Amino acid sequence: DTGVSQDPRHKITKRGQNVTFRCDPISEHNRLYWYRQTLGQGPEFLTYFQNEAQLEKSRLLSDRFSAERPKGSFSTLEIQRTEQGDSAMYLCASSLGVPAGELFFGEGSRLTVL
Amino acid sequence: AQSVTQPDIHITVSEGASLELRCNYSYGATPYLFWYVQSPGQGLQLLLKYFSGDTLVQGIKGFEAEFKRSQSSFNLRKPSVHWSDAAEYFCAVGARRGSGNTGKLIFGQGTTLQVKP
């Protein structure tokens, strides 16, 4: 399967711990996006990369959140000092970056903060 | 600011009946519009999109949607629903920047579709 893959699929952590999620996009896609989805809500945009450059960050992305895409391939999303409000599904998507290009989503990484 | 409203949080239809899911958007110009479907444990899958041109767009799995500029709507329809269509459906709007889509999508809160046998 050559779709978008995310790891881990589920992470349970205690409040105050750091967590890191990884996303491997479709190989030829130059754009990569992170979204957050809470129960009963639609996905909320967090940030996106074009190649290795982070071009936009949402105000939702507090200082405790950092995302990288060091070589323009896979990306990591780190959350430091997790809070219970961080519990959500973190979705990664990639695209070719053409006009009206489709975003291909991974299955998500579910974070539960106890 | 861009926004998307899906007025119906939950809809139940009988198998074989027709379906219409509503979507209204707020955007200063003609946006890109999308419908995605999310099944339990699955990633979001694109059903269809509107970019320009014909306002009636066809998608996968027998779905279609109509862009109505005057109503700021992009409602999703299917003439005959199958039990496998039970899922959560999201309408999304994409911003244009210059000649392209930045890819950033604003999603509605979703509509959960339940199909009765």
Go through B95-117 and write b for each residue having 16 or more CB atoms within 10 A of its CB, e for each that does not: bbeeeebbbbbbbbebbebebee
Q: Which two tokens stand for residue A107?
A: 């299955």
Give A35→chain B minimum CA distance, Å. Answer: 10
Quote the radius of gyration of chain A (alpha carbons, Å): 13
When pLDDT is cut at 50, 70 and 90, the band that residue B113 belongs to is: very high
Go through B62-82 and write b for each residue having 16 or more CB atoms within 10 A of its CB, e for each that does not: ebbbbbeeeeebbbbebeebe
Is B49's CB within 8 Å of A45's CB? Answer: no
At residue A48, the 3 state secondary structure works out as strand
Angle at A65 between CA A62 and CA A67, to 5 degrees: 130
What was the pLDDT predicted at A100? 62
> What pLDDT, in 10s, does the model give residues A59-102?
888 899 999 999 889 999 999 999 999 999 999 999 987 766 78
CB-based contacts of B60: which residues, under 8 Å, 6+ apart? B46, B47, B48
CB-based contacts of B66: which residues, under 8 Å, 6+ apart? B55, B56, B57, B73, B74, B75, B77
> What pLDDT, in 10s, does the model give residues B20-57?
999 999 987 778 899 999 998 788 999 999 988 889 99
> What pLDDT, in 10s, does the model give residues A14-60?
999 999 999 999 998 999 999 999 988 999 999 999 999 998 899 88
Q: Is the peptide bond before A8 cis (omega within 30 degrees of 0)?
A: yes
What was the pLDDT predicted at A82? 97
Residues of B in contact with A97 (CB under 8 A): 100, 103
Q: Taking chain B, what is the end-to-end CA distance rounded to the nearest angstrom?
A: 41
What was the pLDDT predicted at B101? 58
A25 CB within 8 Å of a chain B CB: no
Compute the distance between CA of residue B25 and CA of residue B91 in angstroms, rounded to an integer. Answer: 9
Residues of B in contact with A103 (CB under 8 A): 44, 46, 103, 105
Is B49's CB within 8 Å of A95's CB? Answer: no
Compute the distance between CA of residue A79 and CA of residue A67 in angstroms, rounded to an integer. Answer: 9
A108 CB within 8 Å of a chain B CB: yes
What was the pLDDT predicted at B15? 97
At residue B84, the 3 state secondary structure works out as helix
Compute the distance between CA of residue B10 and CA of residue A44 in angstroms, rounded to an integer. Answer: 20
Is A41's CB within 8 Å of B51's CB? Answer: no
CB-based contacts of B8: which residues, under 8 Å, 6+ apart? B21, B22, B111
Amino acid at position B49, single letter:
K
Is A43's CB within 8 Å of B90's CB? Answer: yes
A98 CB within 8 Å of a chain B CB: yes
Give B89→chain A minimum CA distance, Å. Answer: 9
